[in-house]
Amino acid sequence: MHEIMPGRKRGIFFVVAVCAVFMQAGLWAGRKQTQNNFPDNTLVSSSKELIPFMKLDARPKIKEHPIPHLMAEAENNFRKLLSRQSKTLEEAVREYRRRYRRDPPRGFDHWWQFVKDNDVLMIDEYDAIAEDLAPFWELPADEVRRRADVAGSLPSIDLVRVRNGNATAVNVRTGSTEVSARARGFLSMIEKFQDRLPDVDFPINSMAEGRILVPWEQRMKLNESGKSFHSRILVHILTAIQGVSPHNSVGLYTSFRASSTTQRQTNQLLAQTHEFSFPESVSGNYSFCENPWAHYNQGHFFSDWRTVSVLFPVFSPAKASGYLDIRIPSHYYYAQTRRYTYGWDPVNLELKPTDHMETAWEQKSDKIFWRGASTGGGSSPPGFSANYQRHRFVRMASDDSTSNRTVVFADPPGSNNYVYVQVPTSALNEEMMDVAFVKVVDSFNYPGGIGALIRDHRFDDGGVNLGDHWRHKYLVDVDGMGYSGRFFSFLESDSAVMKATVYREFFEEWIQPWLHYIPLSPSYQEIYNIHSFFSGATRSALAAANSTALRLPPVKRRPVDGDRRLRRIARAGKQWKRTLGRRVDMEAYVYRLVLEYVRVSSEDREEWNFVL
């Protein structure tokens, strides 16, 4: 245990030191707002080296907007991905061997039959499974099983057990079959093929958040320590069972911060924070190790839940990068419920192809819509929630200060004469945003308490149903306490989804940003330019440019194909959900995962190979 303590103490010290710097930086950003082009610098490092860069007038002359290029490339990539999937079992085996340098697991032929029978389109894209199970290949199989056994008795973990081809779920600590919705979800995902499985245990995380966070130093030590391995593990296991005190992962991550920011990173940072720069993919793949300052802007890093600092096989719906949980589809996506399923008719308990609250595209509002509760993280250490992803977004979208934002658009619309204009944030928010909290949660965690939380944020007392979203063309999906369980229903609707997340889920290789949804950076700063591209420069932007388009009637001010492109994203998202995000696609993923897991936890792994 003494191995862990010094690291954690250092972590806490570092947090305190950074807090001080960060708060000063916050003030600095506030004062500077009126003087530079980066008014919303909450995501910019406080590092002094960066300040000169931020003052640079980085305004490349542009001939064409980057978004059509991103969309074309996305479509091209996705088409290639689909068309290169193996067509026969032989091809699939060959591809498997090429990627992972071993044979597929036993049962692969039945899995193949399953995917063929169910028109599953993804045959080869399961690198997520290989990645998640890789650490367990480094352990002996009996150790994997032993750890699964221990994991099953940890707090907030249920066990799904297969015995004689029959799966059941149990809470080992209480002996009860009253288990979490996540365990029940997993149980139903394996129902169709449980009779083909040997006796095996799956520890299922009952919480939304990743659990397994093994400090880097320990991972390295584990890897190299051959013999002394077991005794050390025992100590860690004991620590884990007794409950590592609720601890935040900020310290853990920041301990390997890059202290000297390289030129490359600085440039990356500049690109990431510029208002006219669009990320190619969702921020789930964002490197928090290279950008430690970004931790303070995500509730994820202030978690109250107990992370476990030992490598246990734990199956979770999502994980931030660095976590070692084994990903499975979320039960929110798999189950059919009023709150999370598009087209679900809760009265007749049936799925309708079109949700009864769906709205015709032409009748949808052009505003960017988000509603949710003020969740978004824990409170360890407390006092940071104002910077959490949801709070930042609500404040940004309702900022009525006199600051300006940079909007870039073709003037006149449809031309390739791109102009940069400074537009008052308050006007843009008025024209583009409809973002509010609907529920106060964890207000004790907000500096100043509930009064301050309500004063600082827009609250819409009307509440929101899932179906209310369909009245808007743009739906924003941001993380809450964990990943967002609404994503699949948003995709399936006729609206376009904009998504920011720090989590990685099972489908990351299957979905294509800029085709199926619009990826947002963790700062959201580019959102005004995204809207301007698809829906056209707003009145205030045209006024700032003294555009001749102001004299045109509003419908004519739009770029020719922006709205059409946005609708295409909405349709592609729906199509994705219906061809790749079906329940049976999730079953196919889980089927393959459990075959792999059975092998990695079997005494004779070779014997569990599938050879044609």
Contact residues for ligand NAG, defined by CB under 6 A: 34, 138, 164-166, 219-220, 223, 281, 285, 402-404, 422, 508, 544, 546, 548
What gap in Å lies between CA 397 and CA 501, rounded to an integer?
Answer: 18
Q: Least distance in Å: CB of 544 to ligand NAG? A: 5
Q: Least distance in Å: CB of 220 to ligand NAG? A: 6
Q: Which is nearer to ligand NAG, 223 or 354 (CB)?
A: 223
Cis omega before residue 104 (within 30°)? no
Would you report the helix, strand and coil content of the chain in percent, each value rounded to 5?
Answer: 45, 15, 40
Q: Which is nearer to ligand NAG, 113 or 166 (CB)?
A: 166
What gap in Å lies between CA 526 and CA 543, rounded to an integer?
Answer: 20
What gap in Å lies between CA 168 and CA 172, rounded to an integer?
Answer: 12
How do strand 157-163 and strand 166-170 relate by DSSP bridges? antiparallel
What gap in Å lies between CA 543 and CA 217, rounded to an integer?
Answer: 56
The set of residues, in sequence order, having a beta carbon less than 8 Å from that of 444 and lying 6+ positions away, is 379, 450
The answer to whether 293 touches 180, Cβ cutoff 8 Å, is no
Q: Least distance in Å: CB of 459 to ligand NAG? A: 27
Q: Least distance in Å: CB of 12 to ligand NAG? A: 25
Burial class (CB in 10 A: 0-12, 13-18, 19+), 105: buried
Q: What SS3 state is found at 539?
A: helix
Q: Which is nearer to ligand NAG, 288 or 305 (CB)?
A: 288
Q: Least distance in Å: CB of 53 to ligand NAG? A: 20
Q: Which is nearer to ligand NAG, 108 or 136 (CB)?
A: 136
Q: Least distance in Å: CB of 40 to ligand NAG? A: 13
For residue 166, give the H/E element and its range: strand 166-170
Q: Least distance in Å: CB of 35 to ligand NAG? A: 7
Q: Which is nearer to ligand NAG, 174 or 401 (CB)?
A: 401
Q: Least distance in Å: CB of 348 to ligand NAG? A: 29
- The position carrying tokens 């074309």 is 72
Backbone φ and ψ for 345, nearest 5 degrees, come out as: -100, 105
The answer to whether 343 touches 351, Cβ cutoff 8 Å, is yes
Q: Which is nearer to ligand NAG, 226 or 353 (CB)?
A: 226
Q: What tokens does 108 get?
A: 């692969």
Q: Which is nearer to ligand NAG, 72 or 220 (CB)?
A: 220
Backbone φ and ψ for 162, nearest 5 degrees, come out as: -110, 125
Q: Least distance in Å: CB of 338 to ligand NAG? A: 29
Question: HSE on the CB side for 423, CA within 13 Å?
Answer: 29
The answer to whether 65 touches 53, Cβ cutoff 8 Å, is no
Q: Least distance in Å: CB of 560 to ligand NAG? A: 22
Q: Which is nearer to ligand NAG, 14 or 137 (CB)?
A: 137
Q: Which is nearer to ligand NAG, 495 or 540 (CB)?
A: 540
Q: What SS3 state is found at 371?
A: strand
Q: Which is nearer to ligand NAG, 119 or 138 (CB)?
A: 138
